[in-house]
């Protein structure tokens, strides 16, 4: 690709990226992505599947010639959206959490949208020309490559455990590593627990629905007393129906704000942890290189020293990028969580006010019911 394309990638207005629609064909979802230039002229709309997103993510990872990338906290891509049938529901829930809930993949789309916005807003990542193709080319991006680049290094669990504990040379990073290990678990747990709460609310809505229907069936017109009783049952049926709608609204609010926020935060914490791990791996390499220099036989020593210098240089580069990333992350995550919390609170407040009014109206009506 030539230089003009490189500039075009930077021209995308990150916050204008929207997932405006999603259509489902069997098990396959297709997302409509719209975006605009920074100059405000010319919007573009493309259609992408989840596989295309994976391709994009891999492209971002696999720029071998940019060693700084290893210090980048990659915006986390949500897991594959599996439409849930009754037998797969538990699995989908476990994998996607809040992202699997809500009408028509609303929450999932929001998460994807945020992903694209974060990538496009990132100083390093937005320079990737594949991003431009992804956002504006009418053709499908390339097929998935074989997993290359940094991806591979993350898949070795045993190695990970051993290296994870490797002591750091830098206090800042050691402290960051410790905190992240702790916080990412806590966020994950909190997200799971909140999901349980929301699911229970949905169950309650269902139970209210059953109750309301049963009441509706208690109608009997045979005599004056039966009529009076029927009236009461119908009234109660309406009340329970309102309760049901209240639960549905409340859980919707939960899902689309705090639920999504917690979900995103726990994934981002994971991404940060992965970045720190990559750096730690490099640190291990550096320590090995240092040892090799000390142990090297005289004829090899010069070579080892070169390796050591190169490793050291790369490590310093990665560390400085990492530091910037962490600082930036700390700032933005607080903003993001704040926005979600405020949104959640405002929505729940409004729902509570509506319900309070409705129930009060019922109360007045019932008090006036002649018996």
**CA 161 to CA 151: how far, in whole Å?**
17
Please tell me whether residue 94 binds another protein under the rule CB under 8 A: no
In the Cβ-directed half-sphere of 334, how many Cα atoms lie within 13 Å? Answer: 5
Considering the complex, state which of residue 246 and residue 280 has its C-beta at the smaller distance from another protein.
246
The tokens describing 189, both together, are 């747990």
Please tell me whether residue 225 binds another protein under the rule CB under 8 A: yes
Kindly give, in sequence order, each residue whose CB lies less than 8 Å from that of residue 40, ignoring residues fewer than 6 positions away: 13
3-state secondary structure of 99: helix
151-190 residues near another protein, rule: CB under 8 A: 179, 182-183, 186-187, 189-190
Contacts within 8 Å (CB) and 24+ apart, 359-366: 359/239, 359/242, 362/235, 362/238, 362/239, 362/242, 365/235, 366/235
Please tell me whether residue 348 binds another protein under the rule CB under 8 A: yes
Say how many C-beta atoms besides its own lie within 10 A of residue 231's C-beta: 14
Site string for another protein, 303-332 (x = CB under 8 A): ---------------------------x--
Considering the complex, state which of residue 45 and residue 183 has its C-beta at the smaller distance from another protein.
183
The residue range among 69-77, 219-227, 298-306, 318-326 that interacts with another protein, by the rule CB under 8 A, is 219-227
229-258 residues near another protein, rule: CB under 8 A: 229, 232-233, 235-236, 239, 243
Considering the complex, state which of residue 151 and residue 229 has its C-beta at the smaller distance from another protein.
229
Q: Which of 157, 161, 217, 221 binds another protein (CB under 8 A)?
A: 217
**CA 219 to CA 215: how far, in whole Å?**
8
Partners of 176 in the β-ladder:
none
Q: State in angstroms the smallest separation of the CB of 160 from another protein.
A: 23
**CA 43 to CA 252: how far, in whole Å?**
31
Contact present, 4 and 86 (Cβ < 8 Å): no
The residue range among 139-147, 151-159, 292-300, 363-371 that interacts with another protein, by the rule CB under 8 A, is 363-371
258-287 residues near another protein, rule: CB under 8 A: none
Kindly give, in sequence order, each residue whose CB lies less than 8 Å from that of residue 134, ignoring residues fewer than 6 positions away: 46, 48, 52, 55, 56, 141
Residues that bind another protein (CB under 8 A): 179, 182-183, 186-187, 189-190, 193-194, 196-197, 200-201, 203-204, 207-208, 210-211, 214-215, 217-218, 220, 222-223, 225-226, 228-229, 232-233, 235-236, 239, 243, 330, 334, 337-338, 341-342, 344-346, 348-349, 352-353, 355-356, 359-360, 362-363, 366-367, 369, 371
């Amino acid at each position: 690709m030539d230089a003009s394309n490189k500039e075009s990638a930077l021209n995308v207005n990150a916050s204008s990226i929207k997932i405006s629609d999603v259509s489902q064909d069997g098990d396959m979802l297709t997302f409509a992505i719209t975006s605009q230039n920074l100059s405000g002229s010319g919007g573009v709309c493309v259609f992408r599947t989840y596989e295309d997103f994976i391709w994009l993510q891999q492209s971002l990872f696999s720029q071998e010639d940019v060693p700084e990338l290893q210090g980048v906290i990659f915006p986390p891509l949500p897991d594959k959206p599996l439409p849930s049938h009754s037998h797969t529901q538990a699995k989908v829930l476990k994998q996607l959490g809040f992202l699997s809930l809500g009408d028509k993949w609303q929450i999932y789309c929001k998460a994807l949208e945020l992903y694209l916005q974060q990538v496009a807003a990132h100083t390093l990542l937005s320079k990737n020309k594949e991003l431009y193709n992804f956002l504006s080319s009418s053709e499908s991006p390339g097929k998935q490559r074989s997993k290359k680049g940094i991806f591979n290094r993350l898949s070795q669990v045993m190695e990970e455990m051993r290296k994870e504990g490797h002591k750091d040379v830098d206090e800042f990073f050691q402290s960051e590593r410790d905190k992240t290990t702790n916080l990412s678990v806590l966020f994950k747990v909190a997200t799971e627990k909140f999901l349980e709460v929301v699911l229970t609310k949905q169950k309650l809505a269902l139970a209210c629905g059953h109750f309301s229907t049963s009441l509706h069936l208690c109608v009997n017109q045979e005599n004056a007393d039966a009529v009076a009783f029927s009236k009461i049952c119908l009234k109660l049926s309406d009340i329970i129906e309102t309760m049901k709608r209240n639960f549905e609204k409340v859980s919707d609010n939960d899902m689309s704000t705090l639920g999504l926020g917690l979900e995103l935060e726990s994934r981002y914490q994971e991404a940060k942890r992965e970045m720190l791990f990559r750096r730690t791996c490099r640190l291990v390499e550096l320590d090995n290189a240092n040892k090799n220099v000390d142990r090297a036989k005289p004829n090899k020593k010069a070579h080892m020293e070169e390796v050591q210098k190169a490793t050291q240089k790369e490590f310093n580069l990665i560390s400085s990028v990492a530091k910037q990333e962490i600082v930036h992350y700390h700032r933005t995550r607080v903003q993001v969580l704040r926005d979600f919390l405020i949104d959640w609170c405002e929505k729940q407040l409004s729902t509570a006010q509506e319900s309070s009014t409705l129930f009060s109206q019922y109360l007045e009506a019932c008090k006036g019911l002649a018996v």
